[in-house]
Copies of this chain bind each other. A is one copy, B any other.
Amino acid sequence: MTTPGQGLHSHVLAALGLAITAGECPPGTVLRTDELAQRFDVSRTVVREVVRVLESMHLVESRRRVGVTVLPTESWNVYDPQVIRWRLAGADRPRQLRSLTVLRSAVEPVAAGLAALHATPAQCRELTEQALGMVATSRGRQLEAYLVHDIAFHRVVLNSSGNEMFARLGDVVAEVLTGRTHHHVMFEDPDPAAVTLHVQVAEAVRERDAARAEALTREIAVGALKELDVLAP
């Protein structure tokens, strides 16, 4: 959940990355390495390495005789987990959650359909187990425990799809679900209808019913979108 790293490099990277994604240093801002070195009290070496990483994320661009220019949002590598984490920690967290949820709503149904075709028996079992865990923790303010099962469930679906692009979205989904739980209501128990849907998805996958798994997951997605008012009621 937290950003790893204990060296100087990680520290400066986190500070600069956060600052940029948070909107301080708006696009067009020009930074100089010497100035940054002074500001963070580190050597130019460290700053240069950090700048190179930020450059690979297309957050900044470094040009001779000019300096390090902050790039506009459209250039950013918004799929970089690091960038996602920074943005979720910043001001436009709600906007970010929305766009990630829309992405989920597109990807997860298809992933579930593929999972029904490709999931191993072990994955089917795991899926059922997590769904049951969700049921068990869906009442009585056990939101943290519920979240753990919810995340695990969606991770298994994505992994079982057999598509590596889908599988890699596990972290994103985890981030979204966590953000939702910790920010939204936190007091109410999860929607019983959603819980049931998860159980049914596990069922459909187990029975290799791809169309049903996809349709059910699409229902879950619609629910998530409604929750964020992305959809009209």
Q: A residues near B, CB below 8 A?
A: 9, 45, 48-50, 52-53, 55-57, 73-74, 77-82, 99-100, 102-103, 105-107, 109-111, 114, 163-168
Counting every copy of the chain, the complex holds: 2
**In the complex, what distance in Å separates the CA atom of A111 from the CA atom of B99?**
12
Q: Which residues of B contact A110 (CB under 8 A)?
A: 102, 105-106
**In the complex, what distance in Å separates the CA atom of A163 from the CA atom of B48?**
33
Q: Which residues of B contact A45 (CB under 8 A)?
A: 45, 48
Residue on B with the closest CB to A56? B53
Across chains A and B, which 6 residue pairs bring their CB atoms closest together, nearest first?
Answer: A79-B79, A106-B110, A103-B165, A49-B52, A53-B56, A106-B107
Contact A100 B53 (CB under 8 A): no
Q: List 21 A-B contacts (CB under 8 A).
A: A45-B48, A52-B52, A52-B53, A53-B53, A53-B55, A53-B56, A56-B57, A74-B164, A77-B80, A78-B164, A78-B165, A78-B168, A79-B79, A79-B80, A80-B80, A102-B110, A102-B165, A103-B165, A105-B110, A106-B110, A106-B166
